[in-house]
Structure 1
Amino acid sequence: MRGRLAPAAGLATLALVAAASALAWREASALVPRDGGRGGGSARLFLALLVAAFAAYLVGLAAARRHGVGRRAAVALALAIQIVPLGAPLLLSTDAWTYWSYGWIAARGGGNPYADRPAAFPDSPALPLQGAAWLETTSVYGPAFTLASEPVALAAGDSADAAAWAFKTLAALAAVAAALLAGRLARRPAAAVAFVGWNPLLAVHLAGGGHNDAWVGALLMAALALAAARRLQAAGVAWALAIAVKWVPLPFLVLRALEARATRRATAHLGFALTAAAVALAATLRYGIHWPLAVVPLAGNAALETSYALPHRLEQIGLPRGAALAIAGAVLVAGFGWLVRQALRGRARLGLAACLLLATTPYLAVWYLGWAVPLAAAEEDRAAKMGCLLLCAYLLPQAIPL
């Protein structure tokens, strides 16, 4: 009987995620972002169902740890939970339509997403739907992601639904891949698969919202799994692609390099170098010299604050903005310095590094868990896993338009 508790909790998580996702089909549901992110209805019930799903997920993890769970059951439930939000329209965020907008500018608009703002293309079908905050901002994403967004934009045509489901499907596949690869890396494969694949927040924001953080998570897991299999050149390819989607894997790569030096682990650089050069060449031919300047709007984005970020919370208790940012920066520097020392002693704690980045960034979004949770699961780092679960609980209401 005890051995059935974990699968039962997983099934409950699946049912609750499915029920929450189904609410998006209600007329005028706030769960489907409209007019740059505004809507109305269904939000409180969605939150209640998501809270219940997260509680069931925690019960499932505890039961799996204590009584075990079969690998087939863990994988089957992970697949179902991460895929079920594909049965809903786009959930909670307009980011997928923003990706569509940048892809449309390059593929159909005759422009350059790294030089031209979306607002300059009034004929773009994505313009009325993408996030209002990005209308005057050039792309902040890496060149590999922008290059991949172009064929999606071409295939979607003028259909917002097609664009949304394309990015949702890609994110769902990446989330499933991250869960399965985490299982290959961990000593307890079924528990690692459950930690990633049964997570309801990942499901509603990756398959539900189509966020490209799922791509980052899958590529990071691929890099680590390939390295573990001694396929070092292929691991370098995955590292280069992960960085070329979003810049966030760079500190993780630094820690892994320091660990390799400390442990004298074999490394190979040709795959990374050739992939980075190929992406840079393709991006330069396509976007000119503008694409490296994506760090400029990215830095501006980082200077903004989301309401759930640590600096903003410090400001809420009365600290000046400068002091709040200084404290967050000091925590980041001190924490990363400690992580560097850990790496130099032979242990690159990437899961903890991810938690540190999320805890100190001024711009914190719940879908960033798409790369933090798989790292913690793969390493089986108890502190990182606890940190991720606490972040999940804290960020659970974010993006829900209550």
Structure 2
Amino acid sequence: MPVLRVPVDIRSCRLLGLTGSAALAAGGAAAGALPVRDVPAPHSAAAVLGLASVYFGLVLLPAAWALLGRTLRGPAPPGLRDLLLTLALWAAPLLLAPPLFSRDVYSYLAQGAMVDARIDVYAHGPSRLGGPTAAEVAPVWRHTPTPYGPVFLGCAYAMAGSARTEVATGVLGLRLVALLGVALMVLCLPALARRCGADPLTAVWLGGLNPLVLLHLVGGAHNDAVMLRLLGAGLVASLGRRPAVGAVLVTLAALVKAPAALGLPAVVLLRARRRSGRFPRRRAVLATGGAAAATTVAATTLAGTGYGWTTALDTPASPGNWSLTSTLGRLTGAGLRAVGSGLAEFAVPAWHLAGLAATALVVLVAWKRHHLHRPVYAVGLSLAAVAVLGPAIRPWYVLWGVFLIAAAAPRGSARPVRAAALLSGLLALVVMPSGFPPDHNQLLIAVGGSTLGVLALWCAYRVAARAADRAPRPEALPPATPRPMDPPRRIDRPAWDPHRPPGSTA
């Protein structure tokens, strides 16, 4: 498709993305992660139309995002305010939609209610709570302790009270928490990019308007938004000569989700840069470690959840997890069973160990290459490795690394940005809006909705191409007709009178 001959502006990108976001919200009303009492029959007309509408939107929204990225390289790129307004327009329809692509928000509410009921969330799953809130949790997680830290459990506890009478109220509260996290994430991106020597507009486009941010942090209300806003704010503070504040904020991010602790080495290095005297790194390690320890004790004491989160980090992944190492483990196990080997049961654990070893290797290489000049970039690469090579993966996990890669990728190095953008676009399509695995009929409906989205894009392209062909081109304009030269201006002089004295003007 010769897309390059069709001009693209930010207004058409906004309209296309808003159409996709509205289709997602409308389809989610019937095909999203609804409360169990509101779920329609799997093959009812409402469910079919809802699923088709969601996948129609899943084609339009990433396409609008990709075209918007193209405008950044054009002769008149949009400004930062234009990008922020675009994000607000695309996110607006999703605010009142039901949860999309995951039922994790119900787990958050149940865990908050467990804290309120003084049930140990690190020893028991939501099934111990019982009641309507626990009934909304996906069956695979009902008996699983939480892996989240005390900072997020404090947020969930604050919203659990509103969910006692109406679950939808608690969902809206957690979505507003996630929305605030997204807003602060986006505000951190330009500051991080300027301090790291990256392009602020590209950072906001890749890290803020990313379809995964809209689909999973806004639509799914995931707590990764809280983690990333604290991590980003902590790194901004560390880059801005406030390393103590940075250590506190990054530690709070790790007390939401543990992988954020990879940001603490960056705080140490940035702090050591500004210290003089002997052993600057050693003193930076001690100062940052002390701030992190004090923050951990204070946050855990205030939340009242205890230190069980230190032993809950090995919460098992779901059996059907499609991470790279889990998939390779299942394939290897199937092959071993086919040849009658008794080692099949060790295939998945062995691949998980291999993935952890590969993650450690990538982290070491990233820090060795970038720790002196680009510690924030090293954190982004490390978090991306944890997400991709770990034993469990969800599409929104990729945002851990994409967020910081967008803000700190070296100027002129397009490969990491393109890889992050391509991975984000692909992962936007792989999860069903209900959060459950699809059956054969649902896959066909999803393909049908996606096909309609592609056809809509093609029709829009043809209309735009014809309009561009009809528009006069500067080189095709007829040459301007030269204006005839004005006749010489006549200067009227008085007639000569032989009887008038010389020099007389009368």
Relative to the length of structure 2, the TM-score reads 0.70
User: Match for 1:278 among 294, 298, 313?
Assistant: 298
Deviation at 1:105?
1.5
Counterpart Cα distance in 2 of 1:264 and 1:344:
17
Structure 2's unaligned 5+ residue stretches are 334-346, 433-437, 443-506
Q: 2:23: which partner in 1?
A: 19
SS of corresponding position for 2:135: coil
Deviation at 1:193, TM superposition (A): 1.9
Letter of the 2:56 counterpart:
A
Provide, for residues 240-284 of structure 1, a one-character-per-residue CA deviation record: whole Å limited to 9, x for no partner. Answer: 11011110112232355356557869855365443222113324x
Match of 2:257 in 1: 246
Deviations along 1:115-154, one digit per CA (max 9) or x if unpaired, are: 34321222x3311101212211222110111122111111
Provide Cα deviations, 1:93-134, integer angstroms capped at 9, x if missing partner: 111111110111122x34232334321222x33111012122
For 1:244 and 1:34, locate their aligned partners in 2 and report how far apart those are by CA, in whole Å: 29
Which aligned pairs between 1:2-401 and structure 2 lie closer than 5 A?
A: 5-25=9-29, 29-35=30-36, 40=42, 41=47, 42-67=50-75, 68-107=77-116, 109-122=117-130, 124-187=131-194, 188-258=199-269, 261=272, 269=288, 271-283=291-303, 286-287=304-305, 291-302=306-317, 304=318, 306-315=320-329, 318=332, 320-348=347-375, 349-381=378-410, 382-400=414-432, 401=438
Task: Report the alpha carbon displacement of residue 384 of structure 1 after superposing the two structures with TM.
Answer: 3.8
C-alpha displacement at 1:38, in angstroms?
7.6
Secondary structure at the residue paired with 2:393? coil
CA contact (8 A) 1:262 1:344 kept: no
Amino acid at match of 1:299: D
Give CA deviations for 1:60-82 in whole Å, capped at 9, x if unaligned: 11221344211211111122323
Tell me the CA shift for residue 220 of structure 1.
1.1
Distance 1:157 1:140 in 2: 23
**Which segment drifts farther, 34-43 or 170-179?**
34-43
The question of whether the paired residues in 1 share the 8 Å contact of 2:231 and 2:263 is answered with no
8 A Cα contact 2:388 2:398, kept in partner: no
Give the secondary structure class of the aligned counterpart of 2:132. Answer: coil
What per-residue deviation string (whole Å, max 9, x for no partner) do you get for residues 311-340 of structure 1?
133246546434533442332122112012
Amino acid at match of 1:204: L
Moved more, 82-91 or 320-329: 320-329
Distance 1:33 1:312, change over 3 A: farther
Question: C-alpha distance in 1, partners of 2:11/2:72?
Answer: 8
Contact 1:142 1:246 in 2 (8 A): yes
Q: Could you give the per-residue CA deviations for residues 23-59 of structure 1, whole angstroms, max 9, x where no partner exists?
A: 122xxx2312444998632324312321221122112
- Residues in 2 aligned to 1:134 and 1:32: alpha-carbon distance in whole angstroms: 15
In the alignment of these two chains, the number of paired residues is: 391
Alpha carbons of 1:54 and 1:379: their partners in 2 closer, same or farther (altered >3 Å)? same
Of 94-103 and 351-360, the range deviating more from structure 2: 351-360
Are 1:143 and 1:279, in contact at CA under 8 Å, matched by a contact in 2?
Answer: yes
State the TM-score, normalizing by the size of structure 1: 0.87
Distance across 1 between alignment mates of 2:188 and 2:27: 31
Structure 2 CA distance for aligned equivalents of residues 157 and 120 of structure 1: 16
Letter in 2 for 1:332: T
Is the Cα contact below 8 Å between 2:238 and 2:270 reproduced in 1?
no
Q: Is the 8 A contact 2:263 2:379 kept in 1?
A: yes
Task: Determine if contact 1:20/1:50 at 8 Å carries over to the other structure.
Answer: yes
Q: CA deviation at 1:371?
A: 2.9
Is the 1:75–1:194 contact (alpha carbons within 8 Å) kept by the matching residues of 2? Answer: no
Q: Secondary structure at the match of 1:249?
A: helix
Change beyond 3 A, Cα 1:161–1:142: same
Change in CA separation of 1:297 and 1:30 when aligned onto 2, cut-off 3 Å: farther
Q: Distance in 2 between matches of 1:279 and 1:155?
A: 23
* Identity value in percent: 24
Given that 1:85 and 1:207 are in contact with CA atoms closer than 8 Å, whether structure 2 keeps it comes out as yes
Letter of the aligned partner of 2:233 in structure 1? A
- Output the amino acid matched with 1:314: L
| Distance verdict in 2 for CA 1:353–1:222, change over 3 Å | same
Tell me: CA distance 1:90–1:372, structure 2 relative to 1, closer, same or farther (3 Å): same
- Counterpart CA distance in 2 for 1:259 and 1:226 is 10
Q: State the distance in 2 between where 1:225 and 1:167 align.
A: 25
**Distance in 2 of aligned mates of 1:8 and 1:22:** 21
Check the 8 A contact 1:6/1:64 in 2, yes or no.
no
